[in-house]
Structure 1
Amino acid sequence: MNIHVPRGTEDLLPEATRKWQVIEERLNHLAQLYNYKEIRTPIFERTELFQRGVGDTTDIVQKEMYTFEDRGGRSLTLRPEGTASVARAYVQHKIHGSPDQPTKLYYMGPMFRYERPQQGRTRQFTQFGIEAIGSASPAIDAEVMAFAMDCYQALGLKSLKLVLNSLGDQESRQAHRNALIEHFKPVKDELCQDCQSRLEKNPLRLLDCKVDQDHDAMKTAPSILDHLNEESSTYFEEVKRHLDEMEIPYVVDDTLVRGLDYYTHTAFEIMSEAEGFGSITTLSGGGRYSGLIEELGGPSISGIGFALSIERLIMALDAEEIELEQDESVDAYVIAIGQESKYKASDIVYKLRKNGIKVDQDYLDKKVKGQFKAADRLSATYAIILGEEELEQGVANVKNLKTGDQKTIEFDQMTDEIKAGF
């Protein structure tokens, strides 16, 4: 019986994981530049966290969560997104008490959603995300969007579009909510079942419906921008002013909504405009949330964040035909001739590695010619050749495979000579 990976998951083999490591290294470095510190939360949480934090009316909670009972009868869920877990940790550990505010955190790890697998969307996927909690400044909204754009630009992507909108404060959202209900009520029966259910519970979610997106009522739906109160309108203008000062281009789209209930004020997405990327162009998204921390038992403070899928990032790289530099070569390869030499080879390899030199050796008892071929396949800079005669003299013949230069080196000088490049 052949056992394969579950549907919606995949194995990342070494030729793929090296690309992932390059991406992860760049994202980690970028987080350091922006002064965000890493947080790691559990892969599963109490189901209530996502019901309260993400929202009962969202597709994620209603349709996509992997939920199970443990042996104690507690309902647990594999995390479908990162913000709720970070917010829970922020409250539980009273991070709001730190004098260093806002708290700037980043995370990277697997998320799980039960949805139809398709290109760039899997049931287990990897997110990189940031959260800046404890400031209601428009400047940090702009910083988060700049960070999000940098994540792609640092890897060479160019065909990008930043789209933003304001969802307003609670007063503005309520006014817009009422207007949406009045607008869609007359055509309720023409909408899909999900939209009919959402109309009273969360009408904003109608604007994100893929089934009814071409309905005439969608095209004439009331704009949130027409229902922003003075405070919300001023906030949005200040966010745009910061982006303008940084010369970060953007497009305002008043139909942009996010799929999670906790968003207020700024909402944004980054899209790929690369030819051949696919019909679903969104690469990442995020926005401000006011009320999430309080809902989870913390103080009344707001935050802003975003998350990107590394799988979709890789799709964008492929669409723009960007190859990430991946150095898989070794510094040296030890070629041992004879059994006694093999023992010494293990010693040489171990000591070189202890001194930061990337080195390998033969483990298949290959002939000398086969060992040289192995060194060539690994793009080794040096071949360290060790036979019985060299073993007796306490030396090895070291050949620079790039230049052809060769030198006899004593064992206790090997590390220094290899590092110096003789």
Structure 2
Amino acid sequence: MRVLVIGGGGREHAIVDACARHGHEVLCTPGNPGIAALARVLSSPQDPASLAALARQEGAEVVIVGPEVYLAAGVVDACEASGIPAFGPTQAASRLEGDKAWSKAFMERQGIPTAAHRAFDDLDAALEHLQVLSVPMVIKDAGLKAGKGVTIAHSVAEAEAALRDIFTQSGAQAVIEDFMTGQEVSVLALTDGERYALTPPSQDHKTIHEGDTGPMTGGMGVICPFPVPEAVMRQICEQIIEPTLRGLRNEGLPFRGVLYAGLMLTPQGPKVVEFNARFGDPEAEAVLPLLESDLAQHALDAARGALDPASVRFGTGASAVVILAAPGYPGEPQRDIPLGVPPAPAGTFIYHAGTRREGQRLLSAGGRVLAVTATAPTLLEALKAAYALADQVEFPGAQRRLDIGRRLGLRPAAEV
């Protein structure tokens, strides 16, 4: 079929790759140089009406929306109004990600386990609340922040600084949460609003530096699958995924697309850290290479409300992602750094997350620039292959973490 993918990062490169390998004709806007090797990249205004018009003009049979900003803008609504099936939640349903204060209130209403929290739209009230809390605590900007906007404050002074930073924006809201302990894991559900199929659990590494130190980023590396006991997976389904989909339906917000549950496996059981309304990035770069069945068909089926969960099949191997980020990220990344990308051997992938072409030169064009992925029978083998390939990339000053997988006791890159 003819598939239009909306977005231009590493996640969208992985989506395009997953569709192209099943023989579909893939179009992408705005795309990137890596995507251009697999799909026809189209220029277009990026507002909802223009994107729906592009899908109609190109005869797209299904639209797959990658980034959250497009969902929050209403691209799925515009496509549906034009009679084009779109894989992703509506603008109203995507509020589950786009408004953390609303999302927390929804979890309370539906009895979905999450951290104790309070939301504030007034700085003084938020600062006053800090005085009755113990550290560490978690400070979140309630708006869309591309996986950032979260501070784990180890002192009241650090929490105050994070709140003051959030409230420099007009109309800002902040969420203050208790700090949860345990292993963090991402569980993604492909869903038509009622039926769903889970991807293998994965684990992102959020901070910029080894040992989970430094500022939060959009994600610096992933291992998949992360070993979650079968009994805990049942809890996740019964206490989190199913009540969320049911609650959204009951509140008039049926959710079609990818429900991303960022979870903490606490001593009291799994709890929601946050929900996202799309494939994670870089989780998509880890999960989709393991997908054996047809993503485009699943997207079309889900958009039509007819997903067959039994048709969604993943391989039994493992994958690992190592992100190469620009100097200065997650602050102000340096751009236009010349890149040399080697050929990817079988079972490995170099997804373009922030690149551009200038003539024959490939240049960096963002914070997270390349997602180097490898698949293998075991996680350790996948990590070794991903780091070996990352070593071959020419990228002066690149930042990368050398301890992806360390929480499972896997040896860091310097030792493998």
Instruction: Verify same fold: TM over 0.5.
Output: no
TM-score normalised by length of structure 2: 0.24
Larger Rg belongs to:
1
Query: Which structure has greater strand proportion?
Result: 2
Query: Which structure has greater helix proportion?
Result: 1
